Amino acid sequence: MVIANKIGTLYIVATPIGNLKDFSFRAQETLQKVKLIAAEDTRHSATLLKHFNITTPIVSLHEYNELERSKVLIAHCQNGDSIALISDAGTPLISDPGYRLVQQARLTGILITPIPGPCALIAALSVAGLPSDRFVFEGFLSAKPSVRYTRLNQLAKETRTLIFYEAPHRLLDTLEAMVKVLGSKRKVALAKELTKLYETVWEGSLNLLLTQLKDDSILSRGEFVVLVHGAEEDQEDMETKALNVLIPLLKVLPLKQAVVTGSEITGIKKNYLYQLALKLNNG
């Protein structure tokens, strides 16, 4: 009789984004019990693991070796060893390596389990005071100005809250580009050094923020999340969107149900859809 080898699990483990007290018990326990930890920067992570007396061996997995290293890590799991992936800070795969590893692991049928925890974009959104029901995470804008402008232009009409990561040395350039493309009055929030000693959240118009930050010497250091209020819905676009959804819905559903469903599909307020539906029903 052949006894099948038990397959190991790949754990995707979030680590603190600054405050070590945010390292969950489950994350610590998992990192202690796995056979191997794959980390973006082994030296950086060794300090964290040492602090928590985690003695599991570490190997590197970064942008440049991810494809090759993934094969080796998956082979470990197939041989019955569980492994964990961590990044320098926060949740792996979120503007960090790991996507290719997870993608390949999924193809092999290995069990993949998240150990959720800190993530800068979610922490920032939770305190920014901008609409949080729908949002778009854009990660880092390109370092190339032309590419950055093109991307911002593509996002100019986006009505959901926009979230960006940004390096301190590019922050002013990025805000300047945003003023030019999105307009000086657009509401923005800037979350700096979340969970750390100098945690600060600014809010105001893009213009005001830019003016304030231009004189600010503390900008040269730290980590930032930039959150921008979505564009106001263009009335014409909104009406077209609403009609495209309402007309077919009204053919198969009673008015109120069509309005509720239409609102769920489009995100457009029920009251607006209700008035439009009444007009449609009245010919």
| Nearest distance from C-beta of residue 137 to ligand SAM, angstroms | 10
| Nearest to 159, CA basis, from 131, 193, 192, 123 | 131
| Nearest distance from C-beta of residue 112 to ligand SAM, angstroms | 17
Site string for ligand SAM, 185-224 (x = CB under 6 A): ------x-xxxx--------------------------xx
Which is closer to ligand SAM, CB of 63 or CB of 215?
Answer: 63
Q: Is 38 in the site for ligand SAM (CB under 6 A)?
A: no
SS3 per residue for the chain: CCCCCCCCEEEEECECCCCHHHCCHHHHHHHHHCCEEEECCHHHHHHHHHHCCCCCCEEECCCCCHHHHHHHHHHHHHCCCCEEEECCCECCCCCCCCHHHHHHHHHHCCEEEEECCCCHHHHHHHHHCCCCCCEEEEEECCCCHHHHHHHHHHHCCCCCEEEEEECHHHHHHHHHHHHHHHCCCCEEEEEECCCCCCCEEEEEEHHHHHHHHHCCHHHHCCCEEEEECCCCCCHHHHHHHHHHHHHHHHHHCCHHHHHHHHHHHHCCCHHHHHHHHHHHHCC
| Nearest distance from C-beta of residue 87 to ligand SAM, angstroms | 5
Which of 110, 119, 128, 242 binds ligand SAM (CB under 6 A)? It is: 119
> Taking CB under 6 A as the criterion, which residues in 87-106 touch ligand SAM?
87, 89-91, 94-96
Which is closer to ligand SAM, CB of 39 or CB of 249?
Answer: 39
Q: Is 23 in the site for ligand SAM (CB under 6 A)?
A: no
Q: Is 228 in the site for ligand SAM (CB under 6 A)?
A: no
**Which residue, judged by CB position, is nearest to ligand SAM in the bound state?**
90
| Nearest distance from C-beta of residue 37 to ligand SAM, angstroms | 16
> Taking CB under 6 A as the criterion, which residues in 230-259 touch ligand SAM?
none
| Nearest distance from C-beta of residue 19 to ligand SAM, angstroms | 8
| Nearest distance from C-beta of residue 117 to ligand SAM, angstroms | 9
| Footprint on this chain of ligand SAM (rule: CB under 6 A) | 17-18, 87, 89-91, 94-96, 119-121, 165-167, 191, 193-196, 223-225
